[in-house]
Amino acid sequence: MSLFRLRAPLAALALLAAPCSIASADDARTDTVVVTHFDIIPTFADQALPLLKQFVLDSRSDPGVKYFTLITWAPTTNHWQMLEVFSSQQAFNRHVSAAHSIAFRTAIQPFVGAPIDERLYTINDDDHDHR
């Protein structure tokens, strides 16, 4: 496993580590962090990138989306990761079943060179200080 693939989930988790006050039990939240890796066949990278970018734009307005972006590892031209933060597992479930998500998965499929690697992580903030 490449060093980058180990760092991507950590980068997503760091997004949630912004300074905040101590949360009370009533303010507890459970965020769902998703890191999705796309390995695109190199000859299709130019066709796949607009689909990836449009999906990010479409997804940012889904209910419960806190953060949604596309990143890449600079030396590669055909590997991308989506870093996504949802307010809950239910928000993620609604997102993946949305019409635009299903259409995107169908449209991107001919361009992928390996199975799409989607990993879910849960952040439980009960009463932890993030300073």
DSSP string for 79-130: EEEEEEEESSHHHHHHHHHSHHHHHHHHHHGGGBSS--EEEEEEEEESS---
User: Looking at the domain assignment, is residue 35 inside a domain?
Assistant: yes
Residue 1 lies in a domain: no
pTM for this predicted structure: 0.75
CATH number (domain holding residue 76):
3.30.70.100
Q: By mean pLDDT, which of 33-42, 53-62, 71-80, 86-95 is the weakest?
A: 71-80
Q: What is the mean pLDDT of residues 48-77?
A: 95
Q: Is residue 93 part of a domain?
A: yes
Let me know if residue 64 belongs to a domain.
yes
Give me the pLDDT at residue 73, please: 84
As a whole number of angstroms, the longest Cα–Cα distance in the chain is 52
Query: What's the pLDDT tens digit per position in 88-127?
Result: 999 999 999 999 999 999 999 999 999 999 999 988 766 5
How far apart CA 15 and CA 26 sit, in angstroms, is 23
Residue carrying structure tokens 């870093």: 83
Is 74 inside a domain boundary?
yes
Nearest CA to 59 among 44, 70, 46, 45?
A: 70
CB atoms within 10 A of CB 16: 17
- Whether 16 is covered by a domain: the verdict is no
Residue 6: inside a domain, yes or no? no
Say if 106 falls within a structural domain: yes
How many separate domains does the chain show? 1
Containing structural domain, residue 43:
30-125
